[in-house]
């Protein structure tokens, strides 16, 4: 890859320079370290090193009862903790055959989609910062703050909720809270239009993201990418449509895919735009939940001491960052025998090595931002 410089008529081969990006680099979104071999300003090779946030949550879970695992799942993707809990609760419920009350299902879908909004708002803010624009971050955080406040009111915590329990949700929401959510999503529609003109159609932003880090469908399938990364490459796969869980089969929403409007299908701009349009879909879903929500209990019948029957299950759910899978193996006891987490961020981080070669270093920052990883989920 080294550039050949012509000096006095002779070709000089320059050496590659090794650069460490992270683990304390603001653009790596946490404690990711990427060892970059650069040739002037072009990345020749990038080797991601992970594990700085490794707590071996899977081992901890083997010593906890089934309810005790839920707070640990929060700490994986701490920006979308509700979605992390949801998948785990669904896996256990499916094994136990628990019926979740209708009101709890509505609350779950509504809260899950609000979490998606919060997570995508975070992406929108920090991605703009990665690319040098500071003010979108402030807009995004103002709106995200409302969601966190609502979450704090209903669950008692701002980020790590322990709210989705096996059999339902921990606490009921009040009518006043529902009215505030309705008002918020109404405001959010206008807000999203503003974001699009502010960032999405911004000339500098488009120049920085179009035709950068293009992912082809073959790469996507081979690496097992999911979520907005997969849909950004023009593939319309969404677990909420393909294998609907909870109430998603009854709700009306569209799967958003990248079309390559500004550059090529599967570039950074497409991944950005898929997330922004997904927020509109989330608002649609929240509105339907607000219309449909009915009175009733929020907790189903669950035994006091949960013993999952012997067997195994692989439960996938569509989280803001991609598909989250729980592979639970039970031996019939009070604790999971083995709980393996399929993390989409782990998968997406493994793609960095393939996306980086040939990029400018500044584009590489845009690439890391566009796959939207949370290192808590990568390392678990």
Is residue 292 close enough to count as binding other proteins by CB under 8 A? no
Stretch near other proteins under the rule CB under 8 A, chosen from 77-85, 132-140, 190-198, 338-346: 338-346
Any contact of residue 333 with other proteins (CB under 8 A)?
Answer: no
Fill in the per-residue mask, 205 to 224: x = in contact with other proteins (CB under 8 A), - = not in contact.
--------------x-xxxx
Backbone angles phi, psi at 168, to 5 degrees: 165, -145
Q: Which run of H or E residues covers position 90?
A: helix 81-96
C-beta closer to other proteins: residue 39 or 312: 312
Nearest to 196 by CA among 186, 208, 205, 187: 205
Residue 242 contacts other proteins per CB under 8 A: yes
d(CA 204, CA 221): 31
User: Which one of 26, 132, 309, 333 is in contact with other proteins (CB under 8 A)?
Assistant: 309
Distance CA(379)–CA(33), nearest Å, equals: 12
Handedness of CA 351, 352, 357, 358 (dihedral sign): positive
Burial class (CB within 10 angstroms; exposed 0-12, middle 13-18, buried 19+) of 299:
middle
Asked whether position 300 contacts other proteins by CB under 8 A, the answer is yes
135 binds other proteins (CB under 8 A): no
Count of other CB atoms within 10 angstroms of residue 156: 12
Q: Give the residue, chosen from 2, 5, 19, 56, that forms a contact with other proteins under the rule CB under 8 A.
A: 56
How many residues bind other proteins (CB under 8 A)? The answer is 53
The answer to whether 243 touches 259, Cβ cutoff 8 Å, is no
Among 125, 168, 263, 322, binds other proteins (CB under 8 A): 168
- Asked if 327 interacts with other proteins (CB under 8 A), we say yes
Does residue 340 bind other proteins (CB under 8 A)? yes
CB nearer other proteins, residue 203 or residue 304: 304
Closest separation in Å from C-beta 354 to other proteins: 7
The residue within the footprint of other proteins, chosen from 313, 360, 361, 362 (CB under 8 A), is 313
Residues found in the chain: 380
Binders of other proteins among 86-115, rule CB under 8 A? 94-95, 97, 101, 104
In 159-191, which positions are buried (b, 16+ CB within 10 angstroms) versus exposed (e)?
ebbbbbbbbbbbebbeeeebebbeebbeebeeb
User: Residue 10 Cβ, how far from other proteins at the closest point, in Å?
Assistant: 36
Beta-carbon contacts of 32 under 8 Å, excluding residues fewer than 6 positions away, are 22, 23, 48, 49, 50, 52, 349, 368, 373, 375, 378
Contacts with other proteins, residue ranges (CB under 8 A): 50-51, 54, 56, 58-59, 94-95, 97, 101, 104, 165, 167-168, 170-171, 219, 221-224, 235, 237, 242-243, 297-301, 304, 309-314, 316, 323, 325, 327, 329-330, 337-338, 340, 342, 346-347, 349-350, 354, 379
């Amino acid at each position: 890859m080294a550039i050949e410089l012509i000096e006095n008529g002779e070709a000089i081969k320059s050496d590659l320079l090794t650069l460490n990006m992270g683990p304390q680099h603001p653009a790596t979104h946490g404690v990711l370290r990427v060892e970059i071999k650069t040739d002037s300003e072009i990345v020749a090779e990038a080797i991601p090193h992970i594990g700085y946030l490794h707590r071996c949550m899977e081992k901890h879970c083997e010593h906890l009862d089934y309810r005790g695992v839920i707070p640990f799942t929060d700490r994986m993707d701490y920006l979308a903790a509700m979605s992390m809990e949801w998948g785990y609760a669904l896996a256990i419920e499916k094994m136990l055959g628990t019926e979740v009350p209708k009101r709890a299902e509505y609350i779950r879908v509504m809260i899950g989609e609000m979490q998606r909004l919060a997570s995508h708002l975070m992406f929108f803010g920090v991605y703009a910062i990665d690319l040098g624009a500071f003010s979108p971050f402030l807009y995004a955080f103002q709106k995200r703050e409302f969601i966190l406040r609502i979450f704090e009111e209903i669950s008692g915590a701002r980020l790590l909720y322990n709210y989705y329990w096996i059999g339902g949700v921990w606490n009921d929401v009040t009518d006043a809270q529902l009215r505030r959510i309705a008002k918020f999503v109404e405001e959010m529609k206008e807000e999203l239009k503003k974001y699009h003109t502010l960032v999405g159609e911004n000339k500098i932003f488009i120049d920085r993201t179009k035709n950068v880090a293009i992912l082809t469908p073959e790469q996507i399938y081979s690496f097992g990418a999911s979520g907005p990364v997969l849909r950004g490459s023009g593939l319309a796969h969404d677990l909420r449509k393909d294998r609907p869980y909870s109430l998603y089969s009854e709700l009306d929403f569209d799967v958003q895919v990248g079309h390559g409007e500004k550059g090529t299908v599967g570039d950074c701009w497409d991944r950005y735009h898929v997330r922004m349009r997904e927020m509109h879909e989330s608002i649609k879903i929240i509105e339907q939940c607000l219309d449909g929500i009915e009175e009733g209990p929020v907790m189903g019948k669950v035994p006091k001491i949960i013993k999952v029957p012997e067997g195994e299950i692989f439960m996938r759910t569509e989280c803001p960052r991609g598909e989250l899978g729980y592979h639970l193996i039970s031996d019939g006891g009070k604790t999971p025998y083995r709980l393996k987490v399929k993390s989409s961020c782990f998968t997406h981080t493994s793609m960095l090595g393939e996306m980086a070669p040939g990029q400018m270093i500044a584009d590489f920052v845009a690439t890391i931002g566009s796959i939207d990883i949370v290192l808590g989920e990568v390392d678990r």
